[in-house]
Chains A and B, each alone.
Chain A
Amino acid sequence: MNLKMNLPALVVVFPFFSAMMMVAIGIFNRKVVPYIFQITATITAYFAFSLLIEVYTNGPIRYYFGNWIPPVGIEYYVDYLNILFVTIIASIFFVMSFYFPLSVRKEIPESKSYIFYSVTTLFASGLLGITITGDMFNIYVFTEISSITAYALIAIGGNRRSYRSSFNYLILGTIGASFIVLGIGYLYMATGTLNLLDMQERLQHVYNSKITISAAAIIIVGLSLKMALFPLHSWLPGAYAHSPSTISAFMSATSTKVMAYLLIRFVYTIFTPNFATKIIPITDIVMYISLIAIIAGSFLALGQKDLKYMFAYSSVGQIGYIVFGAMLINANGLIGSIYHFLSHAIVKGGLFLVAGIIFYNFTNTKIEITNGLFKKMPFTSIGFLIFALSMIGIPATSGFISKWYLVMGAIETGNWIGVTVILLSSLLTAIYFWRVVDRIFFKAPDDDVKFNEPISMILPTYILAGCSIYFGLFPHQLVNYAQKAVLLLMETIK
């Protein structure tokens, strides 16, 4: 019984139990909970990285719970694709865990703080579970775990708007999740199995069945809702803008992207591209919707007067990139999509951390208060600049690499509309970020008040900024990994 064998389970189960422990310990001693939280995040990240190395040296892992062989038992299936996402989520969780204590002390009532830590950990474990599991029903269960915790986390902020946003998200999220479970039910009906790979096998015989086709429609709508693909995005801006800073940062970096991962999983592994392109046009339609999402998100972001709202709407656009790349059914497009998953997780997470530091000092995040911010909070401002450049896709930032691959994929498939849209939206991104940059760096500040930038908040922000530049300058390794993942996904086409 060694650690290495059980890594796939540990990545999920460890934070899960740790979350329970936090509540139990928190009742007696609230002060140690943040430390447990940080240790949990660290160990989870360690597990994720060991798993990453394991998978890339020895190939995909099929982990059977309790040694029950599927389709009877539950399987955790770790291949090149989802291990990347697991590692990204775990590392973002790890980096942000240092940011939590100060921000939590500021925004969360003392009496609720240990619950908050516990629920956050549970949320993370839910996300990790969705990505790692190889069982359809398990996907639904973990989706619900991460969603319910998310509703709680948004509402914990405690003002009127956060309750409303949480409720809004609750209704729409539940509908999305029900759609997903309904679709999974249909698929179960058609195939009699819940295991991913087994289902891929058996679905081939029932491609033309009305049940399968309906299942595809229902699941796509459910996923579109959960990942806030325009025009089903209306829950997202409120949820991001009115939740505590730490939660908006962590959620924006991970939650919608995990749903985009599920979309990739459904289209490539379960339905396989043959079905999704030839029998019914899943990919074409979703691709055009994603293009609309890219443009609409950018335009909506242009109109916002609050930083958090602006970032949230820009997330609506950015999820479009990930979906677009995946729906091209082209190796480069998919690499771009995976790379953008990483890039956007880093950058948008970082931007919300910046917003968190601003909130820490101003207790609001209106754009108009950022006049001359560079004089008041130089480190925060420079962090913002780096993230803004990466969002725009300036060379030497990770955003450039992902856009490069997306554009290459679009060109290779002859999708000139896609190329135009990506370039146009880069321009729009440049415009709406540059207005803020202009305020921060070139406008005179309204007063001379100096603000403090706590090191524990600056450091995680800068680590993310550093990552963004690192992955912009040295993309090879990750691109190699993504290429491996893409090769495996593309196998089903032949």
Chain B
Amino acid sequence: MIGNFPVFFIFFIGALILLLTKGKLHKFIFITIPALAFFALINTPVNTEIVGSFLGIDLKFIFIDKLSKVWGYIFAIMAFSSAIFAYHNDDYKENIYATLYIGSSYGVVFAGNLLTLFIFWELMAIFSTMIIFARKTDASTKSGFRYLLVHALGGQLLFAGMILYYFKTGNLDFGYIGLQDVATLLIMLGFAINAAIPPFSAWLSDSYPESTVTGTVFLSAYTSKTAVYVLARSFPGEEILLYAGAIMTVYGIIYAILENDMRRVLSYSIINQVGFMIAGVGLGTQMAINGAAAHAFAHILYKALLMMGAGAVLYRTGISKTSRLGGLYKTMPYTLLFSCIGAAAISAFPLTSGFTSKSLIIAASAAEHKTFVYHILLLASAGVFLHAGIKFPYFVFFQKDSGLRPKEAPKNMLIAMGFVSFLCILLGVYPQVLYNILPYEVDFKPYTASHVLLQLQILMFSAAAFFFMLPMLKRTETITLDTDWFYRKGGALFISFVDNVIIKIGSKIKDLLFTKIPDKFSYIFSNPDGYIKIIYNIVYYKVFEDNPEKLKENKLLLKDIGRVKTDTHIGISMIWVTLFMAFYLLIYYFYAG
């Protein structure tokens, strides 16, 4: 029975219950919802379909197969651990929005057709914006609006693509689409915006660091990963995605190394990690899709862990700039431990989840003889260690002593981080747990001597590089002018172009269409008869009777047509009735005769 019950209903009903409850019960339910969803999902058979018809079109509303189940599982696990992490949070609204946000991303992942997908896609954008707004600072409000605009654009592209696609093919089923024409290109662009593929990636690093300690943890997991899912389902094997993914991995690293704010570093590293997944999707072989799915699964966990660590530090110190942090190992040992596990996992140390998932993708690229991409990915893995693996823990917890002596993170945070750390290591030690739920058969042994050796070499060399280049990297402490300039030159040129040119033109057009023209029309139509009368008078006094005084008087009245009195309506209506009568009779007689 429960098998045919779409999982995301649990979240939407749960959100309703959350709305009505307060206090401990509220928090308890908040944690229970994902747990329920998880067990409901286990009982959901593979290839579940719910079919119906809407507006005369037969639609597969829900479609669940092995691929979507991978995302389903990790979303539930993630929601569960973040709910524990957010246990101390008394902002009920944020919890409700988070629940709705998660429910909508489930809707996307289980959508059987483009229409359902589109609706949940938009809901996701709206609720995630609400989460960003929840921090209630000026910066978060502004970046929330920017976030919403970008996603609205994505939604519109997707919608336009969907309509064209429907007219061309006559079906809306969500399955393999493939890049063929304008319609599919629009759909892909819509997906690409959520996947944060450059140059559409600015929203991610702009908004995630601005949301609350708990909000970021939620946000980091869903939006970009649902995008990876939809790309994996509809555009596997598209060459362009392969290169886009490769570029993303490098792009993310460059910015992450240059960044100072710790959550911004981690946000850029999301882009880098999603790049691996996109590259996997672009390869499109069974092994690569497996790799993308596995990496999404693993990445959600360790990125959440890192975000939680950063969140705990921010929660206790109120500081997120790495240059002002340091020496926290003394008072926050557990947070340090868990962050280090997260850092190890993201850097793909053997025995952690990153190792078992990322090597799938890299091996898949090698198997396809994509030498160039293979090397880029290797380079990027080294870079990951540099920025997320060492830089984040080193600058936050060690480095110089900043004099800060914050308390250890709250218990609920530690429990959440502990739980996720456990999973990270579990998946590293027993990768079969993960491999079993992947969409295709896995014929891959991560722990061969050559793999482990290669990975350790990469890690050791980049670790060496880190400490050799430490003085250079430390420059981020104060953001000197040259790195600042370098940073802005690269990324902010685009942002400033959007801000100054596109936004300005856009707001002009918006003003014109939604304020100026309607105002003009509403002015005229507040007294249309009067307006016509005045226009008639002006023409009359200008053309037929040269009377400048009356002309001037009428021109003044044009500015204030509310004062123009017109005749009562009955007479005019009578004329209309007569005219119509005559008109109809004439036409009908003429036509029939």
Contact = CB atoms under 8 A, between A and B. Distances in A.
Interface string B399-438: 0000000000000000000000000000000000000000
Contact of B569 (A235, A280, A396, A476): A235
Q: Which of A303, A431, A435 has the most chain B CB within a 10 Å cutoff?
A: A303
B588 A217 contact: yes
Interface stretch (A13-21, A147-155, A206-214, A455-463): A206-214
A64 interface: no
Contacts of A218: 581
B525 A221 contact: no
A395 B120 CA distance: 13
Contact of B587 (A279, A281, A479): A281
A232 B576 contact: yes
A302 interface: yes
Contacts of B577: 175, 221, 225, 232
Interface residues of B, number: 32
Interface stretch (B247-255, B261-269, B516-524): B516-524
Nearest to B524: A303
B573 interface: yes
A285 interface: yes
Contact of A476 (B53, B528, B572): B53
A220 B569 contact: no
A168 B573 CA distance: 10
Given A217-B585, A234-B573, A281-B591, A303 B580 contact: no
B526 to A, nearest CB: 4
Contact of B580 (A168, A213, A221): A221
A439 B574 CA distance: 38
Contacts of A281: 587-588, 591
A425 to B, nearest CB: 13
Nearest to A225: B577
A213 B573 contact: no
A127 B428 CA distance: 74
B518 A432 contact: yes
B468 interface: no
Contacts of A46: none
Interface string B574-593: 10110011001101110110
Interface string A196-214: 0000000000001010011
Contacts of B54: 475-476
A214 B589 CA distance: 8
Contacts of B573: 172, 225, 232, 234-235
B55 A401 contact: yes
A175 B528 CA distance: 25
Contacts of B576: 231-232
A213 B588 contact: yes
A70 to B, nearest CB: 29
Given A210-B589, A303-B524, A303-B525, A435 B518 contact: yes
A4 B527 CA distance: 53
Given A168-B569, A281-B591, A299 B521 contact: yes
Contacts of A305: 526
A487 interface: no
Contacts of B543: none
A404 interface: yes
B514 interface: yes
Contacts of B521: 299, 302-303
B570 interface: yes
A263 to B, nearest CB: 14
Q: Which of A214, A302, A475 has the most chain B CB within a 10 Å cutoff?
A: A302
Q: Which of A280, A304, A479 has the most chain B CB within a 10 Å cutoff?
A: A280
A303 B526 contact: yes
A304 B574 CA distance: 24
Nearest to A286: B584
Contacts of B526: 303-305
A300 B525 contact: yes
Contacts, number: 88
A264 interface: no
Interface in A414-450: 431-432, 434-435
A177 interface: no
Contact of A431 (B518, B568, B581): B518
Contacts of B585: 214, 217
Given A279-B592, A303-B523, A475 B580 contact: no
Interface residues of A, number: 42
B118 to A, nearest CB: 9
Nearest to B572: A234
B175 to A, nearest CB: 23
A171 interface: yes
Interface in B35-68: 53-56
A217 B581 contact: yes
A225 B584 CA distance: 14
A171 B570 contact: yes
A302 B581 contact: no
B583 to A, nearest CB: 8
A479 B55 CA distance: 8
Interface in A119-168: 168
Interface string B558-569: 000000000011
Contacts of A435: 518
B169 to A, nearest CB: 18
Nearest to B582: A217
A273 to B, nearest CB: 15
A280 B584 CA distance: 10
A208 B592 contact: yes
A51 interface: no
B591 to A, nearest CB: 5
Contacts of A216: 584, 588
Interface string A458-489: 00000000000000000110010000000000
B522 to A, nearest CB: 4
Contacts of A370: none
A302 B587 contact: no
B9 to A, nearest CB: 14
B589 A285 contact: no
A224 interface: yes
Nearest to A230: B576
A102 B592 CA distance: 56
Contacts of B570: 168, 171-172, 234
Contacts of B588: 213-214, 216-217, 280-282
A234 B569 contact: yes
Interface string A259-284: 00000000000000000000111100
B148 to A, nearest CB: 15
B587 A213 contact: no
Contacts of B119: 395-396
A59 B577 CA distance: 40
B580 A224 contact: yes
B170 to A, nearest CB: 14
Contacts of A208: 592
Nearest to B590: A280
A454 to B, nearest CB: 23
Interface of A: 168, 171-172, 175, 208, 210, 213-214, 216-218, 220-221, 224-225, 231-232, 234-235, 238, 279-282, 285, 299-300, 302-305, 395-396, 401, 404, 431-432, 434-435, 475-476, 479
17 contacts: A172-B573, A213-B589, A214-B588, A216-B584, A217-B581, A221-B580, A221-B581, A224-B580, A285-B587, A299-B521, A300-B525, A302-B518, A401-B55, A431-B514, A432-B518, A435-B518, A479-B55
Given A280-B591, A285-B584, A302-B525, 19 more contacts: A171-B570, A217-B584, A221-B577, A225-B573, A225-B577, A234-B573, A235-B569, A279-B592, A281-B587, A281-B591, A285-B587, A299-B525, A300-B528, A302-B518, A302-B522, A303-B522, A303-B523, A303-B526, A395-B119
Interface of B: 53-56, 119, 514, 518, 521-528, 568-570, 572-574, 576-577, 580-581, 584-585, 587-589, 591-592
Closest 8 pairs between A and B when the two form their complex, measured CB to CB = A303-B525, A303-B526, A217-B584, A234-B569, A280-B588, A302-B522, A234-B573, A303-B522
